[in-house]
């Protein structure tokens, strides 16, 4: 296990903004991860996967940060049954690519989302325009509560729009998930894959540092008015609605200012708005 002190978290997030973690732990296996979670559960900790959908706004993060990728990377595929078991730290893009190579209809629509399996399930990541979410073909999730390991079925996970049970059970850690995909001819899979990637080819988050979607609930008309609003290197994308970009050296206060501006515009007009970004 690695224990790093005073680590810049901007190096571990897709937004490339953030302060310093007093303690960053990188467990090398499942046992070390469980030991860390159990040890720090009472006072709290942060789990970090690929660092998408996270905005590190604080200059200093005092809670321990646990990087799960190295400990939970494995992906197991049973081509005959269509069962795919992926650990929480595995990249969903690798899981999808490996599954399609085995002739399984994995959600290729999500190939542009830079998330781990655990992070994607936590947020119920998806692309609404393509009517696809990570939980569509989920069978079960393996969870650790700090003392015991247990399994939840899909219904128990309470998935909704950009939501899951794990939002209110932050003391639970996702360890792995089991998916069940149907077989599909390679030619059909590749056609769907190309179509999905083409639909996202002009998305700004594929070219610039970004944390992805900012708000899970907002007024479409009002959030579109935010396009192009900018504070130095922090800006709402001009082409992709509801997305804040870092053009190189954005500061946390600039990101906060953009978020506050969008929230204020909704409050003034009495429109609902709720963050999707996790703010540390």
| Domain limits, the chain | 2-67, 75-199, 206-279
E strands, the chain, where? 2-8, 20-26, 46-48, 54-55, 60-61, 65-67, 75-78, 83-87, 126-127, 132-133, 138-144, 149-153, 173-180, 209-213, 215-217, 230-231, 234-236, 243-246, 274-275, 278-279
Q: Which pLDDT belongs to residue 212?
A: 86
Q: What is the CATH number of domain 2-67?
A: 3.30.43.10
Q: Which pLDDT belongs to residue 208?
A: 87
Contact call for residues 108 and 189 (beta carbons, < 8 A): yes
Q: Which pLDDT belongs to residue 130?
A: 81
Q: Which pLDDT belongs to residue 202?
A: 66
Contact call for residues 137 and 176 (beta carbons, < 8 A): no
Q: Which pLDDT belongs to residue 203?
A: 66
Mean pLDDT by 10 residues, the chain (280 residues): 96 94 97 95 92 94 95 96 97 96 94 92 90 96 96 97 94 97 92 82 75 93 96 93 94 97 97 95
Q: Which pLDDT belongs to residue 129?
A: 80
Q: How far is CA 171 from CA 7, 40, 98, 280, in A?
A: 24, 10, 31, 16
Class of domain 206-279: alpha beta
DSSP conformational letter for 137: T
Q: What is the CATH number of domain 75-199?
A: 3.30.465.10
């Amino acid at each position: 296990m690695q224990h790093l002190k005073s680590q810049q978290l901007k190096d571990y997030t897709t937004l490339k903004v953030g302060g310093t973690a007093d303690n960053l732990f990188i467990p090398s296996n499942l046992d070390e991860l469980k030991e860390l979670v159990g040890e720090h559960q009472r006072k709290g900790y942060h789990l970090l996967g690929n660092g998408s959908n996270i905005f590190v706004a604080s200059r200093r993060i005092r809670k321990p940060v646990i990087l799960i990728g190295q400990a939970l990377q494995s992906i197991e595929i049973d081509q005959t049954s269509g069962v795919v078991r992926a650990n929480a730290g595995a990249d969903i893009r690798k899981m999808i690519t490996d599954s399609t190579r085995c002739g399984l209809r994995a959600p290729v629509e999500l190939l542009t989302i830079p998330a781990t399996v655990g992070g994607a399930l936590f947020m119920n990541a998806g692309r609404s325009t393509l009517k696809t979410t990570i939980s569509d073909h989920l069978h079960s999730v393996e969870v650790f509560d700090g003392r015991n390991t247990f399994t939840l079925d899909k219904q128990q996970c309470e998935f909704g729009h950009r939501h899951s049970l794990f939002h209110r059970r932050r003391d639970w850690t996702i360890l792995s998930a089991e998916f069940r995909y149907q077989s599909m001819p390679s030619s059909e899979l590749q056609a769907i894959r190309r179509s999905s990637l083409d639909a996202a080819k002009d998305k700004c988050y594929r070219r610039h540092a970004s944390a992805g979607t900012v708000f899970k609930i907002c007024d479409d008309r009002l959030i579109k008015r935010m396009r192009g609003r900018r504070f130095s290197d922090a800006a709402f994308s001009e082409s992709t609605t509801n997305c804040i970009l870092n053009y190189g050296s954005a500061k946390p206060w600039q990101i906060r200012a953009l978020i506050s501006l969008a929230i204020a515009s909704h409050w003034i007009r009495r429109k609902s708005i709720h963050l999707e970004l996790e703010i540390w």
